[in-house]
Amino acid sequence: MTIEHTGSLSEWLRKTISKLKSHLAELGYSESTILRLDATWKELIVYCEAHQTTEFTVDLERRFVWERYGADLGDRDISQNVSRAIHMLDDYLQYGMVFKQSSITLKGFSPAYKELFEGFLDSLRQNQVAEGSIRTWRSRLFRFEYFLLESGIEHFHLLELHHVNTYIESLTGFSPGTVAATIRILGKLFDYALAKGYHYISYANALPCIRRTHKYRLPTVFSPDEVECILTQVDRSNPLGKRNYAILLLVTRLGLRISDVRLLRFENIDWKNKRISIHQQKTGIPLELPLLEDVGWAIIDYLQHGRPETDCPCIFVRHLAPFDVMSGSMQRLVSKLVSKAGIHVSTDKPIGMHSFRHSVATSMLNNGAELTDIAQTLGHATPESTQVYVSLNTEMLRRCALEVLL
């Protein structure tokens, strides 16, 4: 992509970004969000002026991101904000609009597409697609819907192949995995629309085939000693610290997903028999685990001395009004605690609550547990989902190695 412009590049960028910010304000983006995005755009203008560039290209953007933010891209928040700002600018330059983020459009689909899209998602549920996957697919459909409406396609039967091609072009810059997943969703949607009479043709066979290159990365794993060191960094003298400590124990001791911990309810805990019973958010599969002594006392400490007064049915809540269900992955908290503990993690490895889940599995594997037992503890749908942990066990890899014949 090379964008033509008149006058100096920096001046043209300033005017374009000014229009983009007005466009975002009209879409309902908050002032704080626009200011956060504008910080990246200002840096881009400074970069263009310093390098005296005259053409605005994708390569220019890539060089800017790497040279200006390369050292900080291991920070998930910085990486997402920079990526979002660049994608927004590209969308605005190429299509004259910005694709809304799913967090803004989660109120529901428009009347023109609600019946089709909700029916399509219901068909996925009937085919046993997990709710977590359906939420992801829903967010992709919001983006596609916004493109359709902004392109003047008020009814799905008016969609033509050139519209589909234009939308796929708009995915440039996303990871191959995201593009491939989006195209797969579109293919299923087109087949569904044809079967239900929303369109006279399915464009599924006309969609490009994206070859995904799997760049395998070992997950971040902490040793039992490192986990204990991380836990000691939590300040348990205040209500928020008591909450975070109890959450961390549920994740580090039992391997629960943070999504299941956030939505843990009082009725999920059988105090008499010391059991925790849930239906997992990701898979919908029931899971029952022992309520360990230290985990139970940490929850009690939070309930008695930390939890705000609220009618929220979930045990763990926000500590800023409204005192409702928590949101987010708590990735920033984990990164902060790991840093305070003096534990070095490579910048190309993600750090978050899921790291502790990997750690539980790896510790069990090192202690001789079978993959079926680990799968049962972690609530995996199949033992095959647990195979990744074999790669973290050096001794088991040695057993799997084939003898070299000379």
Q: Please indicate, yes or no, whether residues 271 and 312 belong to a single structural domain of this protein.
A: yes
Q: Please indicate, yes or no, whether residues 249 and 357 belong to a single structural domain of this protein.
A: yes
Is it the case that residue 64 has pLDDT exceeding 70?
A: yes
Spell 117-148 as b/e; 16+ CB within 10 A means b: beebbeebeeeeebeeeeeebbebbbbbbbbb
Confidence of residue 88 (pLDDT cuts 50, 70, 90): confident
Whether residue 59 lies inside any domain: the answer is: yes
Query: For residues 245 and 258, what is the distance between their CA atoms, to the nearest angstrom?
Result: 13
pLDDT of 331: 82
pLDDT of 391: 52
Whether residue 406 lies inside any domain: the answer is: no
Q: Nearest to residue 161, comparing CAs of 204, 203, 208?
A: 203
Q: Please indicate, yes or no, whether residues 278 and 308 belong to a single structural domain of this protein.
A: yes
- Of the residues 184, 215, 246, which one is the last residue of a structural domain? 215
Q: Are 190 and 200 contacting, i.e. CB atoms less than 8 angstroms apart?
A: no
Whether residue 148 lies inside any domain: the answer is: yes
Q: Please indicate, yes or no, whether residues 381 and 237 belong to a single structural domain of this protein.
A: yes
Is it the case that residue 335 has pLDDT exceeding 90?
A: no
Q: Are 282 and 257 contacting, i.e. CB atoms less than 8 angstroms apart?
A: yes
- Of the residues 215, 244, 259, which one is the last residue of a structural domain? 215
Residues 159-216 pLDDT 10s:
999 999 888 887 776 777 788 888 999 999 999 999 999 999 999 998 888 765 555 4
155 or 76: which leads in pLDDT? 155
Site of tokens 């299941």: 260
Q: Which residues pair with 172 in a beta bridge?
A: 174
Q: Please indicate, yes or no, whether residues 68 and 52 belong to a single structural domain of this protein.
A: yes
Q: Please indicate, yes or no, whether residues 268 and 195 belong to a single structural domain of this protein.
A: no
- Of the residues 171, 192, 215, which one is the last residue of a structural domain? 215
Whether residue 405 lies inside any domain: the answer is: no
| Greatest mean pLDDT among 313-317, 328-332, 350-354 | 313-317
pLDDT of 132: 73
Exposure of 290 in the CB half-sphere (CA atoms within 13 A): 4
Q: Nearest to residue 250, comparing CAs of 261, 259, 240, 241?
A: 261
Query: For residues 329 and 68, what is the distance between their CA atoms, to the nearest angstrom?
Result: 27
pLDDT of 405: 46
Q: Please indicate, yes or no, whether residues 294 and 202 belong to a single structural domain of this protein.
A: no
Whether residue 6 lies inside any domain: the answer is: yes
pLDDT of 74: 44
pLDDT of 220: 81
Site of tokens 């939420």: 135
What amino acid occupies position 158? Answer: L
Q: Please indicate, yes or no, whether residues 175 and 302 belong to a single structural domain of this protein.
A: no
Q: Please indicate, yes or no, whether residues 242 and 159 belong to a single structural domain of this protein.
A: no
Whether residue 269 lies inside any domain: the answer is: yes
Residues 265-276 pLDDT 10s:
999 999 999 999
Instruction: Give the structural domain span for 106.
Output: 101-215
Whether residue 274 lies inside any domain: the answer is: yes
User: Residue 280 is part of a domain; what is its CATH number?
Assistant: 1.10.443.10
2-3 and 56-57 beta bridge pairing: antiparallel
Residues 27-56 pLDDT 10s:
778 888 888 889 889 988 888 888 887 788
Is it the case that residue 72 has pLDDT exceeding 70?
A: no
Q: Please indicate, yes or no, whether residues 251 and 344 belong to a single structural domain of this protein.
A: yes
Is it the case that residue 76 has pLDDT exceeding 70?
A: no
Burial class (CB in 10 A: 0-12, 13-18, 19+), 190: buried
Indicate the average pLDDT of the chain.
Answer: 81
Is it the case that residue 386 has pLDDT exceeding 70?
A: no
Q: Please indicate, yes or no, whether residues 109 and 157 belong to a single structural domain of this protein.
A: yes
pLDDT of 119: 94
Whether residue 404 lies inside any domain: the answer is: no
Active site residues: 257, 282, 354, 357, 380, 389
161 or 331: which leads in pLDDT? 161
Confidence of residue 401 (pLDDT cuts 50, 70, 90): very low
Q: Nearest to residue 14, comparing CAs of 89, 87, 79?
A: 89
Confidence of residue 218 (pLDDT cuts 50, 70, 90): low
pLDDT of 107: 52
Residue ranges of alpha helices (H) inside 201-238 are 224-231
pTM given for the model:
0.52
The encoded tokens of residue 297 equal: 């006392």
Query: For residues 189 and 156, what is the distance between their CA atoms, to the nearest angstrom?
Result: 11
Query: For residues 375 and 355, what is the distance between their CA atoms, to the nearest angstrom?
Result: 16
Task: Please report which helix (H) or strand (E) contains residue 2, including its range.
Answer: strand 2-3
Query: Quick one: what percent of the chain has pLDDT higher than 90?
Result: 33
Is it the case that residue 403 has pLDDT exceeding 80?
A: no
Is it the case that residue 325 has pLDDT exceeding 60?
A: yes
Compute the Cα dihedral for 231, 232, 233, 234 and give only its sign: positive
User: Residue 168 is part of a domain; what is its CATH number?
Assistant: 1.10.150
Sheet holding 286-290, edge to edge: 269-270, 275-279, 286-290
For residue 198, give every residue at least 6 positions away whose Cβ sits within 8 Å of its Cβ, in sequence order, or none: 116, 156, 157, 192
Is it the case that residue 406 has pLDDT exceeding 50?
A: no
Q: Nearest to residue 229, comparing CAs of 247, 203, 252, 251?
A: 252
Q: Please indicate, yes or no, whether residues 109 and 202 belong to a single structural domain of this protein.
A: yes
Query: For residues 140 and 189, what is the distance between their CA atoms, to the nearest angstrom?
Result: 11
The domain total for the chain is 3
Q: Are 40 and 82 contacting, i.e. CB atoms less than 8 angstroms apart?
A: yes
pLDDT of 221: 85
Q: What is the pLDDT averaged over residues 58-78? A: 63
Confidence of residue 241 (pLDDT cuts 50, 70, 90): very high
Three-state SS for 32? helix
